[in-house]
C-alpha cells in the first residue's frame, strides 16, 4: 500500500485542540485518523511539563498544543503511515538528555517554559516509547488501548495513571527511573501481563487498584532509591526477594515460606483470584509492600 508521510507543520490551527493558550510560542497539531490498525508513538521530551490524556474525538490520532519560550525547545513532529500502521515521532529539537541537576534548577529559575498538552486516540492499539528528560508529567492513559509501554525518567516528578480499563492486553510495561519521583496508579486497570521497574536514586510508588484480573508478573529492582507498592486485598501475591544487609524491605501481612519467598495469606484459597508474582531485588535502597484498605 502507498506510504503517507505527514511532516512537522501538520494542519496547524485546523481546529481548536481544547487547551488554553499560555505565554510564549504556541504550536498546534491535529493528525487525522485514516483507518490505522496499530500505532507506534516515540516521544522524546526534554524539559518542562508533559501532559497526556485520552481524546474524546476518535477522528484524530493526536491533537496537540505545545507552548515553548525559546527556539531550542521547539517541538519536532513527524508522522508516517505504512500499510495499516502509523508511526509518530515527537520530540524536542536539539534535545541531548545532558541536563545536570544544576542545569535543571537553572532552567526553572530562569523561567524557561515548555508545556506539552497531548490528546491521543483511545481506540487504536498503541505502543508507547516515552523518554522523559526533566520536569513534571501528568500522564492519563485512562481507556486508551495501550499494547506496550516503555517509559524512561531521567529527572523530575511524574504521575502516570489509568482510571478506566485498558481495552487491550498490555504485553509489557517497562519503567526506568533516575532521580526524582514516579507514581503509577490504577495499574489494575492497565491490563498488564509483564511489568518491569528499575528504580535508581529516586522514589517509585505503584498502586494496583482497579479491575484487576488474571496473572501479572513484576520484576522490580531498586538501587539507592525506594519503592512502595500497594495491592488490593482480593489479589493473591507471591514475592521472591533478593535483598542485601544494607537494604530495608517490609512485607505487611505476608507469610514467610522460605528465606526469600513470601506469600499473601489468601494464596491458593481461590483459583479464580487475580495474581501478582513479584521478583524483587533491592541493593542499598528500600521496598515496602502493603495492602489497599
Q: What's the pLDDT score for residue 72?
A: 79
Q: What's the pLDDT score for residue 92?
A: 82
Could you tell me the pTM of the whole model?
Answer: 0.86
Alpha-carbon span 47 to 110, nearest angstrom:
13
- Write the CB contacts of 260 (distance below 8 Å, at least 6 apart in sequence): 240, 241, 242
Q: What's the pLDDT score for residue 236?
A: 97
Q: What's the pLDDT score for residue 245?
A: 83
Q: What's the pLDDT score for residue 193?
A: 97
* Distance set, CA 30 to CA 49, 58, 244, 257 (Å): 20, 12, 51, 55
CA angle 99, 104, 108 (to 5 degrees): 150
- Write the CB contacts of 44 (distance below 8 Å, at least 6 apart in sequence): 89, 90, 91, 92, 95, 131
Alpha-carbon span 97 to 219, nearest angstrom:
26
Which cell numbers hold the place of 89?
Answer: 515521532
Half-sphere exposure of 42 (CA within 13 A, CB side): 9
- Write the CB contacts of 55 (distance below 8 Å, at least 6 apart in sequence): 62, 63, 119, 120, 121, 122
Cell 497539531, located at residue: 29
b (16+ CB within 10 A) / e for 121-155: bbebbbbbbbbbbbbebebbbbbbbbbbbbbbbbb
Q: What's the pLDDT score for residue 93?
A: 65
Count the Cβ atoms, other than its own, within 10 Å of residue 57: 13
Per-residue pLDDT of the chain (293 residues; tens, 9 = 90+): 433 333 322 333 233 333 434 457 899 999 999 999 999 999 999 989 999 999 999 999 999 999 998 887 889 999 999 999 999 999 986 545 444 444 555 554 445 689 999 999 999 999 999 999 999 999 999 999 999 999 999 999 999 999 999 999 999 999 999 988 999 999 999 999 999 999 998 999 999 999 888 999 999 999 999 999 999 999 999 999 998 888 999 999 999 999 999 999 999 998 889 999 999 999 999 999 999 98
Which cell numbers hold the place of 167?
Answer: 481495552
- Write the CB contacts of 57 (distance below 8 Å, at least 6 apart in sequence): 63, 119
Instruction: Tell me the per-residue pLDDT of 97-139, one tens digit each, with 9 for 90 and over.
Output: 444 444 555 554 445 689 999 999 999 999 999 999 999 999 9
Do 202 and 178 form a contact (C-beta atoms < 8 A)? yes
Alpha-carbon span 30 to 198, nearest angstrom:
34
- Write the CB contacts of 27 (distance below 8 Å, at least 6 apart in sequence): 12, 64, 65, 66, 68, 74, 75
Alpha-carbon span 208 to 99, nearest angstrom:
32
Amino acid at each position: 500500500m502507498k506510504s503517507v508521510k505527514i511532516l512537522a507543520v501538520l494542519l496547524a490551527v485546523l481546529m481548536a485542540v481544547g487547551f488554553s493558550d499560555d505565554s510564549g510560542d504556541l504550536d498546534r497539531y491535529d493528525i487525522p485518523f485514516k483507518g490505522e490498525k496499530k500505532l507506534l508513538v516515540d516521544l522524546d521530551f526534554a524539559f518542562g511539563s508533559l501532559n497526556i490524556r485520552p481524546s474524546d474525538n476518535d477522528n484524530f490520532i493526536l491533537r496537540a498544543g505545545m507552548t515553548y519560550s525559546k527556539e531550542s525547545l521547539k517541538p519536532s513532529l513527524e508522522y508516517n503511515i505504512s500499510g495499516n500502521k502509523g508511526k509518530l515521532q515527537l520530540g524536542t529539537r536539539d534535545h541531548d538528555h545532558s541536563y545536570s541537576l544544576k542545569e535543571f534548577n537553572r532552567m526553572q529559575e530562569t523561567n524557561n517554559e515548555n508545556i506539552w498538552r497531548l490528546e491521543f486516540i483511545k481506540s487504536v492499539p498503541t505502543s508507547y516509547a516515552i523518554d522523559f528528560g526533566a520536569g513534571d508529567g501528568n500522564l492519563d492513559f485512562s481507556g486508551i488501548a495501550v499494547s506496550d509501554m516503555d517509559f524512561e525518567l531521567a529527572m523530575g516528578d511524574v504521575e502516570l495513571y489509568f482510571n478506566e480499563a485498558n481495552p487491550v492486553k498490555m504485553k509489557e510495561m517497562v519503567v526506568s527511573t533516575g532521580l526524582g519521583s514516579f507514581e503509577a496508579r490504577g495499574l489494575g486497570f492497565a491490563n498488564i501481563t509483564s511489568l518491569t521497574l528499575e528504580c535508581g536514586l529516586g522514589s517509585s510508588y505503584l498502586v494496583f487498584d482497579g479491575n484487576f484480573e488474571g496473572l501479572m508478573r513484576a520484576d522490580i529492582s531498586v538501587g539507592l532509591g525506594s519503592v512502595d507498592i500497594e495491592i488490593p486485598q482480593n489479589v493473591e501475591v507471591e514475592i521472591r526477594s533478593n535483598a542485601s544487609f544494607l537494604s530495608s524491605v517490609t512485607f505487611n501481612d505476608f507469610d514467610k515460606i522460605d528465606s526469600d519467598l513470601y506469600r499473601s495469606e489468601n494464596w491458593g484459597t481461590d483459583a479464580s483470584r487475580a495474581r501478582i508474582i513479584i521478583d524483587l531485588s533491592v541493593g542499598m535502597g528500600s521496598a515496602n509492600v502493603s495492602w489497599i484498605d
